[in-house]
Structure 1
Amino acid sequence: MRLRRLDLEKYGAFEGRSLVFRPDAALHVVYGPNEAGKTSALAAVSDLLFGFGQRTDFAFRYATGDLRLGATICDASGRELSFRRRKGNKATLVGPDDAPLRDDLLAGHLGSLTRDVFERAFGLSSAALRDGAEDLLSADGESGASLFAAASGLRGVEDQRKALEAEADALFRPQASTRRFNEEFRRYEAARRDVATHELGASAWKRINESIEALEARHADLDAKLKALRTDRARVERLGRAHRAAAAVDEGMRTS
């Protein structure tokens, strides 16, 4: 997105002022003496794109309901869009006649850009530049994290990185026997050796199954023999009872 025109209709000390930017320029420089309103113009860009906050420092000349900004912007294809912004709770994007426009009118131009990231990465004021410099100096030489913090506003990245490194160091360090990972790894290795000692290999498993099959076959053979023996015993018992009965009959005949 490129800014083609910024209209400071009623904003801060401005009324009816416009900044027009050449469409073919690669760089625009807005200059002026101290207190000329450069910071106000920069803040106006943020309010224009993302809306006025609940409280504003730029309503000292006009009532908050009268604040107006306008702009013409263009996308990467060169397509232009003109709109105005008013102070309010809803429908703050308006047209030249103050008719409400869609709230998401700028979504295609801004993408995922938020106000905070815009103000810290693109709309840097003098105070923001100083804060970014302090971040650079306070990050112990970690320039990548420092630049990230200065641009995005996500401070404390270096502290978080150090905390994560300390946590990782508490878990594992090569050749350190007291770290939690090393202790758990030793327990794992001991358990693995114990499993290897007591595990049943394929050949042993095969021998046990063969032994079970042989025992089952012997059991079946013995069971068949036991049934045969029980049959023989029952026959012998019947013969014995018949013999005793026949002997008793013979004895009775002799005595009579």
Structure 2
Amino acid sequence: MEKKIKRKDDSKSIKPSNIEKNHMDNYINYTLKKGYKENKDVYKNDMIDLQMTQLIEHLYGLKMKLQKEKKKEKYISRDNFPNEKKKYMSIKKKRSETDEKNNYNKLIIPKSNQNMKYMPELLRAIDIYKNKHTEEQKNRMDTEEKYEQMVRNLKKKHISEINEIKNNILEDVNLLIQKYRTISLKLLNITNKKELEKKKITEICVSACKQFEDDVKDKAKISMEEYKSHIMYSVNKIKEEKHNLEKKM
């Protein structure tokens, strides 16, 4: 009768706890330690968020399962206490060695209680992954904010340079207009004084106006080419910096 009771107790206490212990050992040694080290360069953004959420839920599930097993073992030991007491009362004094063996076995901590020593390590693993997940989110947000700020600064700089080029072109055109207006006024004064040279002066005026038109066109063409080349350089620079930032991310 005693042998049957012991086998029944062993099947309840040893088998589940051994399975649970092996499961936790494999989970801690492989999934939490090796798995993360081997795959930490592969997980990206949303995939990391999903796996972190699943991992935390799984660890909390293990925690609740161990707590339930501990309570169950406590109730089982409490229900079996009267039967154990009657059993020890019926044993004869001559079986002292058996009594010592039973007393020793009585002091052994149940396997499920031994498994509770893994709880601190599981909780530390949860905290580590929570902190790492928070840190990765913060770094990603900082990188995005830095990139957006850089794009805004480049845009402001680009607009400022374009406005400066436009102002320079307008100033050059105004100077040319004033210059040729002065020449035209001088020629008109000469025509008033010398009627005989009217034809020649007219030709000079026409030539000056034509030259003025050609000069304005050439100057505007050169300025527009410089403006276009500057815009292309700015756009290529922005694309290059964006490409470098995307590589770093």
* TM value normalised by structure 1: 0.23
* TM value normalised by structure 2: 0.23
Q: Tell me: higher relative CO, structure 1 or 2? Use CA pairs within 8 A at least 6 residues apart.
A: 2
Structure with larger Rg: 1
Higher normalized helix content (fraction of residues): 2
Higher normalized strand content (fraction of residues): 1
